[in-house]
Structure 1
Amino acid sequence: MMRKNYYRKLAVMGGLMIVLLAFQKYTSREKENFPEIRFITENTIPPDLSDFDPNDLDENQWMHLGFSEKQVATILNYKKIVGGKFTSKEQFKKCYAVSPEKFTELENFLILPETGNGEHSGKFKSYEKKEIMVSKKFNPDRLTINDWVNMGFSEKQAEAILKYRNYLGGTFVSKQKFRECFIISSENYIKLEPYLLLPEKTPDSFRNFEKKYGTPSKIQYRSFDPNVLDKDGWKALGFSEKQAQTIVNYRDRNLKGSFTTPEDLQKCFVISSEKFAELRPYIKISPEQNKKHETRQETDFSKTDLNMITFKQLLEFGLDERSAGSILGFRKKLGGFVNKQQILDTYNIDKDIVQKLISTCLLNTSNVPKYSLTDAPEEWLKNHPYFKYSADKIIFYRISNSDDAKIWKLLKLKPEYEMRMKLYVK
């Protein structure tokens, strides 16, 4: 009986072993070779992409890279704004239609230098490092190149901003459109945004126009004689009212009524080199103008002293009679300028032209009269714009005080007034 139970147990164990071996064989067989699963997502680059020059791509090729139709239009517009050609990966990356993720995908395939060393990249090499200063609200549609330069942009950057404005049809339209100007970094836009006199959003009328006709095109130029254009004629060529008036004044006052060569236009500071290049093929000067034009002697303003400049020379530079008179009148009252900022502080002047003037001319202060508080003539104190309101006190305090330092303490002036007066104290 015991032997029978033993064989029964042995059979059960053998059966279990056979089941285990069969299970092991089943689980250890080779897995089926499934193909690798790939998820297709929007805006991914094609798998067969090879090295390419982004300057050679057309609309369809950009869309093949995963960009939408709107993004492609933005990229091509951006390429026009930077001069018609991408000069570096760094420049291409700044196009806002190219996201950081997309740029990372494309970077290794771009046939471009990392940073630009050419003509265009040099123009914008360090613009983000410049400090932009603005203190009051302004309409960017009315700013000239000099206005942007005074704000802290370089001249080349200012030209690019105006080129973008002209590309939009002569107006930035809204803060949204202004922000799309690639030369204005996010950091600088944040500084400028509170001061912009523009609508927050692009009007529907403009969006509908873009949708139907595309972005407004540049001005359609026709042949013109610059000697017969009035202010409205210059405005039709894309200049603001203020710029147009400056050009007319420059022609009528500086050039005695006529441009003799196309290059004469380039000398007018409100006409940028870029704008002149656009106008140049259409300028047709009548030969009669050259016959009528008298030979003129032009002042070399780079060698002209602002403390010696004459009324006639100020008109020759482009200032109107009111501005020229104000500058000379203020200079006479001061006895001479000791720094160029004083000229900009003069009332009733065209600050754009004066900024150009002080950037061009010299300033010699060696002949400007200066006195100590104790020996300044009474008449001088009472007539000088900086001293006349404190003249009586100075005359009284110096009776018993022969030390300028003590008189300054007794006057108790505001720091800015004292600093201004000390310009004329030896």
Structure 2
Amino acid sequence: MKKSYYQKVAFLGMLLIVLLGFQKLTSKEKEDFSDVKFISEASVPVHLSEFDPNDLSEKQWQQLGFSDKQTSTILNYKKIIGGKFTSKEQFKKCYAVSEEKFIELNAFILLPETNKEARSGQFENFGNRTITVSGKFNPDHFSVNDWINTGFSEKQAEAIIKYKGYLGGNFISKEKFKECFIISDEKYKKLAPYLILPEKTPENFKSISHYKSKIQYQPFDPNILDIEGWQALGFSQNQAKVIVNYRDRNLKGSFRSLSDLEKCFVISAEKFQELKPYINIDLKNTKNSTNLSSGIQQEKTDFSTVDLNSITFKQLIEFGLDERSAGSMLGFRKKLGGFVNKQQILDTYNINKDLVQKLISICKLNTSDIQKYTLVSAPEEWLKNHPYFKYSADKIIYYRVTYPNDKKIWNLLKVKPEYEARMKLYLKE
């Protein structure tokens, strides 16, 4: 009897140890990242290009905008799943990668979309192209085609050229060349012996303005310039897109006067004065010359009467936002169920903050139609999908079964004060 008794006790002890180990393992996968924020502004802008997440070092993940904690989690997650991401679907499941961040990176990830595609073996990984160098070369002289011939994809080649532009038109040193995001350590080791560049960055290198070449302005018609044409005048790619969108959508295809051009948000007063002597608006060459000559005026939106909780995609484009910014803003608004204050709009990922700041200073915000609940009455689906509640949803649902009282639930949740304040924006008082 004693022997049988001790055997049962030993068995129960072993079972308890196994269960505790299993609980510890699964709890790691459900780590709460509600207190983690992405780095919104890096010291050096990242020109996103195609990349294989399996090749990125800790520093490169941080250059993508992930914090130290998020980077560590991504690398640990990769180890847990076998040391390699096999699909975008698998990468997306990592808890350190928010839905907004995944949307931002998705187009550049060199992985098959789903695990099924990965198993089929039909996906071509361009990230593993062989680097081919015939001899020593100065990377400052390389064009997009030259980089493609070296072994980079077209998007990667364009990113390298953009990075060179950020530096002022040349790479300065091997040290600076190595900092280009899409040049992995492995690729740099292959290229380094052939680079005709100084090893170290000059001590007097302070900012890109010291290396920007003087723009040689020529007379131009702003109604026929494309994005590349505006970039040649010294604007960034995003600024050039805003100008083209402003012309084609807000002004229906043409600048009719210098005043129209001066009103474009991304053209500073100083820049406009530089451009002014060279601007030559020829209305005869515009697509809307017939309408202009007949005096037909296109109706414009009065944004002072527009509600930010009902503003449309078309109106955002009309104001000057690009499609990415407009889509991000409306997508975030939909997830929240409406904006409660204007600061939330500025917290949206992937937006032109300067342009949106101007937008929210003009438009009004009506919050009367926003649905609010108590912690006790909030639908489970709403809690699990709302950006502010989803990380605490399971706890709220569990606690309110026993304690149907909001104050008691807050005491048990123990969330940080700033997150509690954010959640209470959508709760009844």
Tell me the TM-score normalised to structure 1 length: 0.48
Structure ID, larger Rg: 1
Higher RCO, 1 or 2 (CA under 8 Å, sep at least 6)? Answer: 2
- Structure 2 length-normalised TM: 0.48
